[in-house]
Structure 1
Amino acid sequence: MLDPLAARRAPDGPSRDVYLTGTVFLDIIFTGLDSAPVRGTESWARGMGSSPGGIANMATALARLGLRTSLAAAFGDDMYGDYCREELEAGEGIDLSLSHTVPGWHSPVTVSMAYEGERTMISHGHEAPPRKAGAPEGAGSHGGAYDPEAPECPPPSAACVSSLVPGRAQEWIAAAARRGSRIFADVGWDETGRWDLAALAELPHCEAFLPNAVEAMRYTGTECPRAAAHALAQYVPLVVVTLGAEGAYAVDARTGEAAHVPGVAVEALDTTGAGDVFVAGFVTGSLAGWPLADRLAFAGLTAALSVQEFGGSLSAPGWPEIAAWWRGVGARGPHRTRYAFLERILAGCAASAPPRRAVPTLGFRPPEQPPG
């Protein structure tokens, strides 16, 4: 696998490139729906896939880009949990040494329905209990995975990725920042409706904040994504506002640089996890030291490639798919100038077997062998 950080690794550097913690869901995705389900009727989907979801979307996207990824998560001791653990650890090479299995706890599940370019989700699950009795408030806020008493938790890593939650403290982020990790964070919808930046207690510890356009404008009270990005740059060194099909806009408060890169047009099958893939691409480019506009372009490309496949985690592209795009339509199409930087990065990237993809069932039984 291509290692985008090979030239920047130091012998005494951390063994992990990225650490993250959160809840792993089993995702079941239905696609090919002509419209939203109607109450009292039965709808049939033309496509279906199953894959690890939740924080697994981000972890898999990072690992497929060659980053040494460590995930702390709670897994149920059911078949769903076994499947997700095997996919992430054996299938994707993600370090799960800081994860654990919770006896008697069932895995959270999300059913996602994709239609008309949008998706509707239904989830079920219960928060995992804290890993250790007597853990402080908020220790279990990511599925009981963060253990403040465990040695090196959070572990030394070049970067950490998190999703900020208004009014909900995540103690590990400040600890990771103090240890020198670069913090990259997005944010979810504010269910309280207050949209108060002060409620994002970990924002001062972040190097980069990556909200979407609606979130950025709500938090800043602005009516333009670019104005929102510049307003947020007063609070965090680097702001990236995602604009959907229109790409992304970024402001680096340290240098004053601003950049906008348009999106790559594709026919979307399922948008689940596209935001996670975008963040993973941006983190990869940041750790590799690429220029800001190249990081935006790369993140947008990885997200665009991901929506052409089922599911969140197993739709994330790897370097062979990125190389195939560049050596195919990329180098000959309208994006050839913007993505010319890929030629140097992909110089040593050879073709390989296609990555694992979401499938309708969790696993087929092996074929019976004929009697010998």
Structure 2
Amino acid sequence: MSTLTQAPDAFAIELQSVCKTFLIDANGKPEYAVNSVNLQIRQGEFFTFLGPSGCGKTTTLRMIGGFELPSSGTILLNGQDVSNLPAHRRNINTVFQSYALFPHLTVLENVAFGLAVKRVPKAERQERAMKALEQVRMAHTADRRPSALSGGQQQRIALARALVNEPAVLLLDEPFGALDMKLRREMQLEVKEMQRRLGITFIFVTHDQEEALTMSDRIAVMSGGHVQQVDDPVGIYEKPANRFTAGFIGEMNMLKATCLGYTGDRTEIQAGGGVRVQCQLKELTAGAELTLAMRPEALSIVEQPDMNQVLFRGTVGDAVYIGSDRRYAVHLPDGEKLLVRVPNHAFGAQKILRQGDAVQVACPISALHFLPH
């Protein structure tokens, strides 16, 4: 059996034009689960594939792990081509949503099981299994059975079982899906801290936006088998590349807009409510359609805007109390709607807005996003 060696300065994982087709339609055309994905995942990075069900994120993860082979394209592990190698020939381990612990074995025996299959001597595998349990802070459970552990503890044991093989890359396929919300959030922080401590490349799959933003160094947002955007959490949230990313990550107001043309070196845009905005989008032509996007928390309800804000006029529709904030739906004259989140400390009780109130909504020019239509 050949041993994969790491190429100097290689990425942990590199995907080059990777495709996966499962079906051929009635016209003889392939239907893609993953379509021409190109990615470079760095050594020691916490990288997340994020997207809705059926977007191709789990299929991509399975191809990296060797559980699926690509229909075309190349997968590199530490600079070495592993595209056609089966899972057991790759120095990669996977933690699945179902922990798959053996109920008749102790925790220590569960963690050491993979080493036993590889015929590692008993003394060495017990030592390595205990070290893995210490890494996840579960050494005190070594002699217990899985049934005696909580869901969060079982998740840690599944992590230890993957770490004991000292993988170059650890894959995590929605591993917190079976946990309640409080425990899920605790595990997110614990796993991120563990990854920083160990320095291993973690590749994570989730459909939970908050989870991805909390844990990741970088995120690949996927839809329809394509990668829509790759960036760090701040870039994904604050600088969405297109309508899909803007709409999928958190709440986003998206108004129809049209390019009116150029005034000097500025592009003039007309958006919802007849508002005109100037920006620097040189690639647009007069008449081109686009989307003006704004986060609800970037908006404020004002008496008078300042010169660095864009002003929208409308009337309050729904007004919903959500604890720290009040969420207003402001209807614009042309029928479009803006969601505005106002912290409760911003208004006194006498200024709480009611349905039908006329208001002015301001957005800082720096918080506007102009997206291809």
Q: Structure 2 length normalisation: TM-score?
A: 0.28
- Greater relative contact order (CA < 8 Å, ≥ 6 in sequence): 1
Structure of greater Rg: 2
Higher percent of residues as strand = 2
Q: Structure 1 length normalisation: TM-score?
A: 0.28
